[in-house]
Amino acid sequence: MNNFKPGGPGPIPAQMKVDLSSIKNMQCACKNEIFLTVANLKFISPFYTGTGQPAGARVEMLACMNCGLLFPAVMEQAEVEKFAANPEAPRLNLEGLFARLMGKVMAGAKIPNNAAARGEG
């Protein structure tokens, strides 16, 4: 049974007409505009769920692909600047993450590609 529920922003409602080309991209404090979506998983004790069953919650965060800064998926641009100024702000170790991934590839691990997942190859 999957008790994980996604967090963060959802899709733009169908009735809302927004021209995304007219909206400025969000930027990290380092001026990067490319982010990786990561999740923090929380375990919820059966004592707190009210159902007697344990549950899980997925809290989505964004990681800057340049400096690794981690911040909530929903944050105003001005808040990002203040958040990043804190030397204690959490950061994703991108170098370590990619090194581990490349180590698995070099060791011959099978990494599924999108074409194979779609049954195209």
pLDDT digits (tens, 9 = 90+) for 61-119: 888 888 888 887 777 777 877 777 887 887 877 777 777 767 766 666 665 555 555 55
Strand order in the sheet with 35-44: 35-44, 55-64, 70-72
Give the rounded distance of the alpha carbon of 78 from its chain centre. Answer: 20
Amino acid identity for residue 85 in this structure = A
Residue 63 β-bridge partners: 36, 70
pTM (2 d.p.): 0.56
pLDDT in tens, 105-114: 666 666 555 5
Name the residue among 101, 98, 33, 102 with its Cα closest to residue 66. Answer: 33
